[in-house]
Amino acid sequence: MTRSGPWIEEYARTPSAIWQGDNVRIRNIRHFEYRTRDDYTPAYFDADYDLGRLHSVDLVVSRWAHDSIAHVFLSFGFDDGRYLSISIETRRRTGQHYSTWKGFFRHYDLIYVVADERDLIGVRTDVRRERVCLYRADVSPETVRALFRDYMRRVTVLNERPEYYHTLFNNCTTNILRHARTVAPHLRYSWKVLLSGHADDYSYRLGLLGRSCSFDELKRRALILRPDGARIGDDYSLAIRGAR
C-alpha cells in the first residue's frame, strides 16, 4: 500500500531492507550533498551490512531554537568505519511545510530516512548551523543489533502500511522509545519524551549514556564543534568524533 505524492525531493524515495541471515541489503540510503538549506544534489545508494559488524549506536540531538525543542535520531556504527543514520520524520508533499499544530491532524505521512551521516548530521552541523550533540550509548553490541533489527522491521512495515505522523504520539522521540522498549522493556515513558530537547537528559538519567561524568559535562563534550571553513568530506564521521 502506498500513498500518493508528489513528495518533497528529500522524501521522494523510501528505504527498504532485505535480510539473508545476519546480512541485510538496504536500498535507497540517502546521501544528499547540501550547499544551502534549499540547494543540494540528490543522491541515493544501496549497500550491504553484516549485523555481526555492528557494534555501536549514537544518540543525535539537534537543537535550533529553544533548548526544549530538538530533532532526535540514532546513528549506528559498524567496525569497518561505516555509519548509518536513521531519522524519523514527516514525509511532506510538495508545498507542505512543517507545522506542530498540523501534525495533530493526520496531515503528514511518517518516514524513516536511512542516510549517510554526511547527509543527516552534516546538513545540521555545517549548513543549518544547529547545535548538534552526539552521544555514544552505553549499551551492549547485542542490544545495538536487536535495536537495528527492530528499526529495519519498522522500515518494512511502513512500506507495506503507511502511517500518519502525530506531533505527540507518533514522532521521532516516541518511536525511538518504542524501539528501545523492544530490547529493554523496563524503560519508562516520561514527559521528557514529549519535549524532545530533553531526550538526552532523560537517556542519561536512565543510565543509557554512561555515568562517567555529570550530565552537563557530558553534554558539553557531546556538542559537535566544526571549525570555520570545514567541509563535509569522506572523513566527516571520523572528524565529528575525533576528540572523543
Residue 20 within any structural domain of the chain: no
In the predicted model, is pLDDT for residue 64 greater than 80? yes
Residue 15 within any structural domain of the chain: no
Is residue 206 helix, strand or coil? Answer: coil
Q: Which pLDDT band holds residue 4 (cuts at 50, 70, 90)?
A: confident
Residue 45 within any structural domain of the chain: no
CB 141 within 8 A of CB 54: yes
Is residue 119 helix, strand or coil? Answer: helix
Q: Which pLDDT band holds residue 3 (cuts at 50, 70, 90)?
A: low
CB 134 within 8 A of CB 222: yes
* CA proximity to 151, closest of 11, 51, 8, 30: 51
Residue 193: per-residue pLDDT: 62
Tell me which long-range contacts 17-23 makes (C-beta under 8 A, separation of at least 24): 17/152, 17/155, 17/156, 19/152, 22/50, 22/51, 22/52, 23/48, 23/49, 23/50, 23/51
In the predicted model, is pLDDT for residue 142 greater than 80? yes
Instruction: Give residue-wise pLDDT tens across range 118-136.
Output: 999 999 999 999 999 999 9
Instruction: Give residue-wise pLDDT tens across range 18-40.
Output: 999 999 999 999 999 999 988 99
Q: Which pLDDT band holds residue 173 (cuts at 50, 70, 90)?
A: confident
Count of the separate structural domains present in the chain: 1
Residue 189: per-residue pLDDT: 67
Residue 36 within any structural domain of the chain: no
CB 91 within 8 A of CB 108: yes
Residue 68 within any structural domain of the chain: yes
Which domain does 232 fall in, by range? 52-239
Residue 142 within any structural domain of the chain: yes
Q: Which pLDDT band holds residue 182 (cuts at 50, 70, 90)?
A: confident
Residue 128 within any structural domain of the chain: yes
Residue 4 within any structural domain of the chain: no
Please compute the mean of the pLDDT values over residues 192-217 and round it to a whole number: 87
Residue 223: per-residue pLDDT: 97
Residue 206: per-residue pLDDT: 87
Q: Which three cell numbers stand for residue 97?
A: 511545510
